[in-house]
Structure 1
């Protein structure tokens, strides 16, 4: 039987921990294709742009996922508008996480499904997201859940002749 989750609003103490972890991991991912200092600045700018008021940012849900036993199994950051166009026809999944102790147990799909339902209830007709190309587990989850590639960027690290 697939697990069931309930989404609830993130508390401030949970947001503080989540925010620190999310930014650190975002910088690490960005730093695979850009200098570290540039990655830190982009992460800082993106946070200021998309969550200028933290938990109180209008049009954004920062939620904790709990299983039927009341255990926190993950979290999700859902925006109710496309960050590129501002259209509310497409909501945006900024981040989805499953706690390490609960991975590979179906909670990713359950959290994703709950986020999709919330977006649908808010009037969105589509749910968009970005995923880093080296995140095979997330890509597999999205493909199993019916997501399709709509844009794609590729890069290759070039080495100097001295390397």
Structure 2
């Protein structure tokens, strides 16, 4: 299969609304593994408000759609400053979200969107691109590894319950 190529362009307001709805639903689904559903939805919404206070026009953030060579929108991405770094610290960008639409998955577009995102990062003067991925998202982990991403840190969790008859 030939490598896919995509071009990134700024989202339109309706594209932003759809991407935000999808991202918040996916975030709530992931958070729902660890907290009540209503709280997970609220946290997802709060994350958008915190990191994108001006929505589509939030300074330093790039909310983009990826178009293939035929002009079809195949996915989207959100790239901005690394939230783990102090404000004004140059060098590190963050891939807050990446999405390849179902009809275009398993066809090389994930790698193409990552490549285009990396090119945007270089144009903006950043020197690295970080991201988080859920540990059970094997397809995404494989995509990132194929594209040269290394594990920088790892968090683990185990649910434990107090044994009957033990007082705390």
Q: TM-score, normalised by structure 1?
A: 0.93
How much has 1:159 moved relative to structure 2?
5.0
Superposed counterparts of 1:40-79, under 5 Å: 40-79=41-80
1:109 aligned to which of 86, 108, 111: 111
Task: Provide the C-alpha distance between the structure 2 equivalents of 1:118 and 1:67, rounded to a whole number of angstroms.
Answer: 16
Superposed counterparts of 1:144-155, under 5 Å: 144-155=146-157
Q: Does 1:9 align with 2:10?
A: yes
Superposition CA RMSD, Å = 1.4
Unaligned runs of 5+ in 2: none
How much has 1:161 moved relative to structure 2?
6.2
Runs of 4+ in 1 over 4 A off after TM superposition: 159-162
- 3-state SS of paired residue (2:94): strand
Are the equivalent residues in 2 in contact too, given 1:82–1:88 (CA < 8 A)?
no
- 3-state SS of paired residue (1:62): strand
Residue equivalent to 1:83: 83
Count, aligned residues: 161
How much has 1:32 moved relative to structure 2?
1.0
- 3-state SS of paired residue (2:143): helix
Task: Provide the C-alpha distance between the structure 1 equivalents of 2:163 and 2:71, rounded to a whole number of angstroms.
Answer: 56
Rg larger for: 2
Unaligned runs of 5+ in 1: none
Of 153-162 and 84-93, the range deviating more from structure 2: 153-162
Q: Deviation per CA, 1:86-111, whole angstroms, max 9, x where unpaired?
A: 32210000000100000000000000
- 3-state SS of paired residue (2:43): helix
Task: Provide the C-alpha distance between the structure 2 equivalents of 1:38 and 1:13, rounded to a whole number of angstroms.
Answer: 26
